[in-house]
Amino acid sequence: MSADKPSFQAAGAGNYRYAIVASRYNKKYVDSLVRDSIDRLNSCGVDAESVRLIRVPGAGEIPHVCNMLAETDNYDAIIALGVIIKGDTIHDEVIAYSVAAALQNIALSTTVPVVNGIISAGNEEQAAARCTGALKRGAEFADTAMEMASTAADLLDELLETRQECENDEK
């Protein structure tokens, strides 16, 4: 993961509903991501009632809950937060790849943006730098969710109009 950060547009962020699904595994790092995400959402005008936090055992369980939340159509963006640290086997790679693919599939199969905030670190120092250090990836993931909620809302209106036109043409 690069140290580079894009610029974000959070206009109208307070008009949307967000869900955060966060792992309890590697708790000290994930708790920092959660705190920074919620702080950023709040600082951009999102009130506490518009953010739902659900904790799950590990990163592998995050996609299941994200999928269920996306299917409810109650959220404008979902933020998945977890930390996977390399161990002695390739288990970290298996989890990281499968979770990333599952989160992308959820976003593509629904109209709900799912932000992949799963940090895959080679060691504790890398995890700390991204979660508790100056990089503040949790805030960045919240920024992404706010911008994508707005973008998706704009595109959803366009998509619905197109579908309506197609239905009218078929009649």
CATH code for the domain of 120: 3.40.50.960
At residue 3 the predicted structure's pLDDT band, cuts being 50, 70 and 90, is low
Asked if residue 106 is part of any domain, the answer here is yes
Of 171 and 70, the structure prediction assigns the larger pLDDT to 70
Asked if residue 124 is part of any domain, the answer here is yes
At residue 6 the predicted structure's pLDDT band, cuts being 50, 70 and 90, is low
Question: What tokens appear for 6 in the block?
Answer: 């894009």
CB of 152 within 8 A of CB of 76? yes
Asked if residue 74 is part of any domain, the answer here is yes
List the catalytic residues.
91
Looking at residue 8, its pLDDT comes to 56
Asked if residue 157 is part of any domain, the answer here is yes
Looking at residue 170, its pLDDT comes to 74
Asked if residue 1 is part of any domain, the answer here is no
Asked if residue 2 is part of any domain, the answer here is no
121: containing domain: 14-170
Asked if residue 9 is part of any domain, the answer here is no
Q: Is the pLDDT of residue 71 over 70?
A: yes
Domain count, the chain: 1
Asked if residue 87 is part of any domain, the answer here is yes
Looking at residue 13, its pLDDT comes to 74
Strand ranges inside 13-168, DSSP E: 18-23, 51-56, 77-85, 114-121
Looking at residue 9, its pLDDT comes to 59
Mean pLDDT across 10-25: 87
Q: What is the pLDDT of residues 118-169, one digit of tens each?
A: 999 999 999 999 999 888 899 999 999 999 999 998 898 787 777 777 777 7
CB of 149 within 8 A of CB of 75? no
Mean pLDDT across 46-69: 97
Strand ranges inside 2-147, DSSP E: 18-23, 51-56, 77-85, 114-121
Q: What is the pLDDT of residues 80-113, one digit of tens each?
A: 999 999 999 999 899 999 999 999 999 999 989 9
